[in-house]
Amino acid sequence: DTGVSQDPRHKITKRGQNVTFRCDPISEHNRLYWYRQTLGQGPEFLTYFQNEAQLEKSRLLSDRFSAERPKGSFSTLEIQRTEQGDSAMYLCASSGSGGLETQYFGPGTRLLVL
């Protein structure tokens, strides 16, 4: 098991374009989280999946953002009509189902919107 992976690692896009990021969690983990981190800040919670069900979304997740986790495996996070304020590191984490378990983070996708 190689841990949580994210793709791409870096993305540069122009304002108004759509982008999609992928996260592959640790294989036996059924919980998957997305966070966003801007420079000098701690990560902020965006959304959470248990298996394929999206159970919670932060108010930070505007209607331009959508996340999916088909079949409870990998997850995608799409941002439509990107804005410069979307520039950030997008982090994915996974954990087991007990609620007592450590969240394991991926390396992140750094997005720059020009």
- Which tokens in the block code for residue 44? 């902020």
Q: Which stretch binds another protein (CB under 8 A): 18-26, 44-52, 68-76, 78-86?
A: 44-52
Examine residue 40 and tell whether it contacts another protein (CB under 8 A).
yes
Q: Which is nearer to another protein, 19 or 34 (CB)?
A: 34
26's CB contacts (< 8 A; 6+ apart) are: 1, 3, 4, 94, 104
Q: Which is nearer to another protein, 10 or 81 (CB)?
A: 10
Q: Which residue in 43, 75, 82, 111 binds another protein (CB under 8 A)?
A: 43
Number of neighbouring beta carbons within 10 Å of residue 9: 12
Q: Which is nearer to another protein, 18 or 41 (CB)?
A: 41
Rounded Cα–Cα distance for residues 92 and 73 (Å): 13
Residues 70 and 54 sit within 8 Å (Cβ to Cβ): no
Residues 3 and 107 sit within 8 Å (Cβ to Cβ): no
Subset of residues 50 to 109 that bind another protein, contact rule: CB under 8 A: 55-56, 91, 93, 95, 99-108
Q: Which residues contribute to the site for another protein (CB under 8 A)?
A: 4, 6, 31, 33, 35, 40-45, 48, 55-56, 91, 93, 95, 99-108, 110
